[in-house]
Amino acid sequence: MAVLQSPSQGNKANNPEVESPQHNKLEEGSKKLGMHIEDIFTDYINRTKIKLKRTLSGAGHENQHASSGKDKFTDYIDCGKVKLRTTSSVGGSVSCDAKTTPDLPVLQNTLIAMESIREASQRIARISAHLQPPNSQTEESCVLKRADCRAKGGAPGFKVAILGAAGGIGQPLAMLMKMNPLVSVLHLYDVVNTPGVTADIGHMDTGAVVRGFLGQPQLENALTGMDLVIIPAGVPRKPGMTRDDLFNINAGIVRTLCEGIAKCCPNAIVNLISNPVNSTVPIAAEVFKKAGTYDPKRLLGVTMLDVVRANTFVAEVLGLHPKEVDVPVVGGHAGVTILPLLSQVKPPSSFTPEETENLTKRIQDGGTEVVQAKAGAGSATLSMAYAAVKFADACLRGLRGDAGVVECAFVASEVTELPFFATKVRLGRRGAEEVYQLGPLNEYERVGLERAKKELAESIQKGVSFIRK
């Protein structure tokens, strides 16, 4: 058997730069760790008289121990009467193929020893990524090239990219996503200030490995291999500015970013925050259609802030903790298109006509309330980041296969005659796997729905026309 290699050894030929003393120490330490485990395993094999042959299959790897997320180890074990073949991916599950009943204690110990080698290789990769300080201007200096790292104490997590990570929403969003145990790799992209944000967040003692990407030339590297892409990119609202005023600027930004997604990670779940969501989601859909990668289930406009506000404001009226309240919010994500269904509040509650009017109005104008309170110093960045992370966590739980993950989102829909509509959806491995109907509405909500659909139709068409023109 060959001695295990660290990730830095496998990349040496492609990195002509002079190695630092810290890098040399890491490489020397990884060699010793690999040799130590190798000796233990070899001794175990000799004592148990087990014959082992290992092969590695994977794209573009000739070295037996240079591995990627797609690599598979195939071990041929001869335990005398038992001939066993096991196949496993790095950090993944093990499958066995035996023609006779194996000696289970011997087999179990053998597989444990084999897994120890794999775990050691992954530890070396994680240590290597953290001990060599990255050049924040470019992702090329990162030692850990593959996403086979793990969040501390947990199973392998997901790869998440935030596009617009240095902005008012992006920075707190990035910090909160770094804290999520379901995230193993976090890519931060923006056209300015990404190095500082990456260095700052990268010092947090949580499991996710953070990499920064700066400017258009690095967009593709930021997106390659991502499971979830969150887009808060764009200019913020200012006093007197409507969401529609944002359109001409943010529409072009969203188009460029979605073209990158279509090229580099077409199967990723996309959480679109950039306003006006009622128009940017149709823009993204048209971009993906042109690229031939459109999957309506994977494109979700984030309207979670409307739900968060509704839960908060209704809880105040009912005298409950917001966590005990669930208010469906349907329609869109701007003004009168935001329609809280107070008749469907959980726990079941009744409101006076005045309470219904005041609550609905405050939920619809929540963004304006914050913009005015900040007096020109920003918009609802912190609450939006919180809501975005809450929704992203739901998407990650869906990707993990958790059952019963239901949230509101602005998605392709047949609930109404409109091509897009916000309603409750069930999240799964493919995104919005089920779109729920509106349910029974009272008279106030039926009137509000018609008003919302009229404005929503115009916003959707505006987004579609931006790409088709």
Where in the sequence numbering do the catalytic residues fall?
A: 333
Give the phi and the psi of residue 338 in degrees, each rounded to 5: -85, 115
> What is the bridge-based pairing of β-strands 94-98 and 158-163?
unpaired
And the tokens for 428? 């799964």
According to DSSP, the residues that pair with 431 across neighbouring strands are: 428
The CA distance from 363 to 340, in Å, is: 8
And the tokens for 39? 């000796």
Please name which of 22, 16, 124, 21 lies closest in space to residue 65, comparing C-alpha atoms.
124
Sign (positive/negative) of CA torsion 319, 322, 328, 333? Answer: positive
CA angle 80/83/86 to nearest 5° reads 135
And the tokens for 412? 């392709």
The CA distance from 233 to 254, in Å, is: 8
112: Cβ–Cβ under 8 A, 6 or more apart, which residues? Answer: none
186: Cβ–Cβ under 8 A, 6 or more apart, which residues? Answer: 160, 161, 162, 174, 177, 178, 201, 208, 209, 210, 211
